């Protein structure tokens, strides 16, 4: 459905607003972008590009790091990060460190 909506919006942008969208800011889903590449709403001579939203990238990074810490803690690998990503003694994630790292993408 999202792909069809993007196709409709991009295809009528010149007629309705007199402009061409050339960059799609995305949450990582490539179906809509791939559909735009197939449709070529502005013809074969206009190249389109996709950018991932930095907020989405930061959230994905944070989630991945939290899951990694939890997985390593379950497996007993508490010293692998020397307290940077997990507490050496307890194996708990240090949320400010992970948040600071994931926010560096923004």
Largest CA distance in the chain: 63
The pTM of this model reads 0.54
Rounded percentage of the chain residues whose pLDDT exceeds 70: 69
Q: Of 64, 57, 56, 62, nearest to 99 (Cα)?
A: 62
Query: Could you tell me the two tokens for 48?
Result: 């389109």
Other C-beta atoms closer than 10 Å to the C-beta of 88 total 12
**Quick one: pLDDT band at residue 103, thresholds 50, 70, 90?**
low
Q: Where are the alpha helices (DSSP H) in 18-53?
A: 31-39
| pLDDT at res. 35 | 92
Q: Of 26, 73, 83, 92, nearest to 36 (Cα)?
A: 26
pLDDT tens digits, one per residue of 75-86: 766 555 545 544
Whole-number Cα distances in Å, 58 to 18, 32, 105: 34, 21, 6
The more confident residue out of 56 and 17 is: 17
pLDDT tens digits, one per residue of 59-98: 778 788 878 877 777 776 655 554 554 444 444 545 556 6
């Amino acid at each position: 459905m999202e792909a069809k909506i993007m196709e409709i919006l991009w295809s009528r942008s010149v007629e309705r607003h007199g402009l061409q969208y050339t960059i799609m800011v995305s949450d990582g889903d490539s179906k809509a972008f791939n559909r735009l590449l197939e449709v070529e709403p502005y013809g074969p001579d206009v190249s389109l590009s996709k950018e991932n939203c930095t907020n989405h990238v930061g959230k994905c990074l944070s989630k991945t790091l939290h899951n990694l810490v939890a997985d390593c803690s379950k497996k007993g690998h508490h010293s692998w990060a020397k307290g940077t990503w997990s507490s050496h003694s307890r194996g708990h994630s240090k949320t400010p460190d992970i948040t600071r790292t994931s926010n560096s993408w923004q």
